[in-house]
Chains A and B, each alone.
Chain A
Amino acid sequence: MLQLKYLQVEGFRGFPTKSDVLDLATPAVLLYGDNHQGKSSILNAIEWCLYGDQCVGGRSGIRERVGGWEIVNRNASGATVGLAIESEQGVTTIKRAQVKGLGKKGRSIEVILPDGTRKEGDEAEQEIMRLVGLSFRDFATTVYQHQETIRAIVIQPPSERNDAIDRLLGLSDYLNVLDGIRRSKIADAQKNLINQRKQLETRIEEALRIRQEDLKDKKREAVDSGLDESELNEEKLLEGAENVKKQMEEFASELGISAAPVSSPSDWKDAPSFGDEAQKELDRLWSESPDLKEQSELNARRTEADALKTNYESQRQALGTAKAKPQEFEREYGTQAEINHQIENTRKENDAVDDQIRQVSPKAKLVEEGIAVLEATRPDESTDVCPLCGETVPNLLDHLRKEWAERIEAQVRALKARRAALAEKRAKLIDLKTQHESLTENLAKAREQLAGAVQRAAEFLDRELTDQDDPAALLSIEIGKIDDRLKQIAEAIKGKRETLNRISQSLNRLSLLHDVLELEEKIGRIEKIAESDEYRELENIRDGVAVFVVDVEVLDRIVRECMAEEAKDKMKAAGDAIDDYFQKIVGNPAAQKLIVEIEEDKRTGGNSYTFRDQDGEEFKPISSLGDMNGLALSMFLGLVKAYGHPIGFVLMDDPSQSLGSRQKKRLVEVLDEVCRSGRNIVVGTMDSELQEFLESSLTRAKTIYEFSKWGPQSGPEVVKRV
């Protein structure tokens, strides 16, 4: 069996500096000291030297080593552990080192085999594995009793204890896989997929609902238009289009004009273009229908006849008025010649008054003219020079105005009044003359316009009209004839319009049918989504996820089953030894036998451990902390005994955590038994009572190291006591 020989550490965990070489070759090596003095670092160093990174972090399966568990001491630049192990072949020395901050590059391993061969790197790791022949998991379960494991079992609530026992049994790999499965939340991913699919479904349902309602409305409209529900199909649409075409040809024939060819739809989707083309042709046929044309022409002719008749009557009335007005005028004011004569007489009379004015007062005339000249020529300047005789008279204008006012004005005033009256009379006569001329012109114009109206009526009636004809009567007769013909045409058109309406209704039904088919196609288009590559891909994903979810569940179940099987196997192999150690350590007289039952934990799906006594009763005292510690140690030592691996030493870290005095003594007796069976023990403890028992009751040779005075820069002081 492999036995530890010696160990030296530097820069490793609690050792910032190089330690002395620790002799580990005696059957018992006891490490004493208070907490945080470096005892556990020695045990950790043995483990790290053998397993390197496997005992660090999450992969170690030890919860306390996840995060913050440092290899290199904070005050050291690197860690080095040297370990000598003796096998049947001789002593193998192992040196593992790690430089701080360099990652993998800073790690090194060196092995010197008993024959002196030196191995490094992977080869060295392989040599170590060949030498130890034990996985880290098994090492941690059956060689090295970690205080964390014992503590977990002792202090965990009963509901969490199963997990701790699983780890004690070295089942943490299974637990980690199960934890990974749980964390992956595969079922949640599937639910998320279902929800997203459901959202898509809701949108599709909504789109479908809208289209189906539109379709329902359109179908109802189609049925109301005379179609049967069973006729709402493409075949009926194409048949309907042919019928429309035929109806149009018959209609054209009935109208007596030739129909332009309208192309039949070959597909229901062509229905709108067919409808447009047919409607245009229908409009053309109708507009070019002879009856309709004649009706249109007759309506225009009738309108014209009405207008001509109205115009004629209006002009005739206007002429009558134009004739009467000059007659009335002459009766009141005289003829044109008489007015002219009066105007001449008035002019002569006026000339005579002017003469009288000049004769009555030549001086007055002169004065008046002088004032007028002076006022007109030099209105702003006073002059004393007479403009008529050239003599100078002081204040001439004032003098003339005074002369005019005092002596001449009275004489002239009467003559001037007479002259003004004559001017007024003459103006009136001229106005009368103008009025008479205007009336005469109006009469001529009215005659001319009436002649024009007669001329236009003659042209409309296509005959000559003389003064002996009555155009109004002739036009009335013509209007009557037009009305008679329009009545005849309206009758003829009525039947044709009914045909036209029938064809229009057929076209409308075709349009409705098309709309129905189009909506059905739109609904069908939604179905096409399911034929898309993307949707197929989604379906494949759904299937794949479903299979994956089931696979993971099966995997989960298998892992649990394997975990349970392995636990049962280990318990079966170590059961007697565990029972034996349990009886020896715990020493409960009521429990003559400890039976460990393993079942599936219905809550977690993991293992559930039940401890029963020889009568199958649940072992109640197991709830005490001391008993729990005893159970954990029993399981560890039982597994050590049952496992039968080649490692000839056991590492125990603070094993007496919650044990009572008697249990500690019993534990030492058990350890003595282990030593005597050929396995060396390395025990680290701060428990002075346990130390006493170890020193007094261990019957094999022992080496004691006392750890104390630990400082951050110096590390512990380690004193060997033999």
Chain B
Amino acid sequence: MIVRMRTLGLLRELRNRFGPGPFGKIAQKLLALSFRELGYAPIVERSVEGVDIDVVGETGKKFGLEVKTTEGLSIGLSPNNIQDLRDRAKDGYSPVIAALRLAVFENWILAKVPLDELSAGQVLIERLRAYRMSDVENLLAPAFERVVEEHYQGTLKNGQRYLSEQLRKTGIEIRGF
């Protein structure tokens, strides 16, 4: 499944409005809302230390997500990112890299990469496809479309502050700012 053109247009407008850095955080919050819509709970979204999102599925399956957005072909993984994933793995969270390439015919790739195969540096998004969780991705894609559509205007007006309010409203715990 791909991000629809309309949704891609909205995401690009948000990126143009707020810049790449803040847009990454916006995408992270939109992703957290999408998992919430799929029924994942509890969800923790972090703006500072630790993995970006913790989610727990209905079956009790736990994932620690490191969220990355890019317009290029690769994402950058820092030693801290990897350490954060390792730390969450100790608590029973499967480490997942959630990468969104902001381009036509792309969507979130949720890659459950074995920790011993992770190394810091630039990672080709194409490479992450070897570890993708297609079942979760397929459920997530339409939810993400709805979430972007629903929160686009509010985000455009008030940015991350608006989304943080929405996260709280839906019971997602926010850690950090």
Contacts and interface: CB of A to CB of B under 8 A. Distances in A.
Nearest to A207: B104
B73 A527 contact: no
Interface stretch (B89-97, B127-135, B166-174): B127-135
Interface string A203-220: 011001000100000000
B2 interface: yes
Nearest to A211: B5
Contact of B2 (A198, A527, A542, A543): A527
A543 B127 contact: no
Interface string B1-16: 1101110010000000
B130 A201 contact: no
A155 interface: no
A527 B5 contact: yes
Contact of A204 (B104, B127, B131): B104
Interface string A524-553: 101101100001000000110111011000
Q: Which residue among A524, A530, A549 has the maximum number of chain B CB atoms within 10 Å of its CB?
A: A530
A194 B132 contact: no
Contacts, number: 50
Contacts of B104: 201, 204-205, 208, 526
A289 interface: no
B135 to A, nearest CB: 13
A546 B129 contact: yes
A546 B126 contact: yes
Contacts of B1: 530
Contact of B130 (A212, A527, A529, A546): A546
A75 interface: no
Contacts of A212: 9
A526 B5 contact: yes
Interface string A572-585: 00000000000000
B105 A201 contact: yes
Interface string A490-530: 00000000000000000000000000000000011011011
A703 interface: no
A542 B126 contact: yes
Contacts of B2: 527, 530
B124 interface: yes
Given A204-B105, A527-B4, A546-B129, A198 B73 contact: yes
Contact of A530 (B105, B124, B126, B127): B105
A526 B117 CA distance: 36
Contacts of B5: 208, 523-524, 526-527
Contact of B73 (A194, A204, A524): A194
Nearest to B104: A204
Interface residues of A, number: 23
Nearest to A525: B5
Nearest to A538: B105
Nearest to B73: A194
B103 interface: yes
Interface residues of B, number: 19
B130 A190 contact: no
Interface string B22-41: 00000000000000000000
A397 to B, nearest CB: 119
A201 B73 contact: no
A289 B140 CA distance: 61
B105 A549 contact: no
B98 to A, nearest CB: 16
Contacts of B9: 212
B73 A549 contact: no
A201 B127 CA distance: 18
A672 B57 CA distance: 74
Interface string A186-203: 000010011000100100
Nearest to A524: B5
A50 to B, nearest CB: 44
Contacts of B132: 543
Nearest to A554: B117
A535 to B, nearest CB: 8
Contacts of B130: 543, 546-547, 549-550
Contacts of A543: 129-130, 132
A520 to B, nearest CB: 8
A204 B106 CA distance: 12
A8 B2 CA distance: 74
Contacts of B129: 542-543, 546-547
A201 B131 CA distance: 23
Nearest to B124: A194
Interface in B92-142: 103-105, 117, 124, 126-132
Contact of A546 (B73, B103, B127): B127
Nearest to A212: B9
Contacts of A526: 5, 104
Contact of A201 (B6, B103, B128): B103
A194 B4 contact: no
A194 B105 CA distance: 13
Contacts of A550: 117, 127, 130-131
Contacts of B124: 190, 194
A549 B127 contact: yes
A543 B4 CA distance: 21
Contacts of B6: 523
Interface in A19-43: none
Nearest to B131: A550
Given A198-B73, A523-B5, A543-B132, A190 B105 contact: no
Contacts of A193: 126
Contacts of A545: 126
A526 B5 CA distance: 8
Interface string A597-624: 0000000000000000000000000000
A165 B1 CA distance: 52
Nearest to A523: B5
Contacts of A542: 126, 129
Nearest to A195: B73
Contacts of B103: 201, 205
A190 B126 contact: yes
Contacts of B128: 546
A190 B9 CA distance: 28
B116 to A, nearest CB: 10
B146 to A, nearest CB: 16
Nearest to B103: A201
Interface string B75-98: 000000000000000000000000
A524 B131 CA distance: 30
Given A190-B126, A201-B104, A205-B103, 19 more contacts: A190-B127, A194-B126, A198-B73, A201-B105, A204-B105, A205-B104, A208-B5, A523-B5, A523-B6, A527-B5, A530-B105, A535-B105, A542-B126, A543-B129, A543-B132, A546-B127, A546-B129, A546-B130, A550-B127
Interface of A: 190, 193-194, 198, 201, 204-205, 208, 212, 523-524, 526-527, 529-530, 535, 542-543, 545-547, 549-550
13 contacts: A190-B127, A193-B126, A194-B73, A194-B124, A201-B105, A526-B104, A530-B2, A542-B129, A543-B129, A546-B129, A546-B130, A550-B127, A550-B131
10 shortest interchain CB distances as A-B pairs: A546-B129, A546-B130, A550-B130, A530-B2, A547-B130, A204-B104, A543-B129, A523-B5, A194-B126, A530-B105
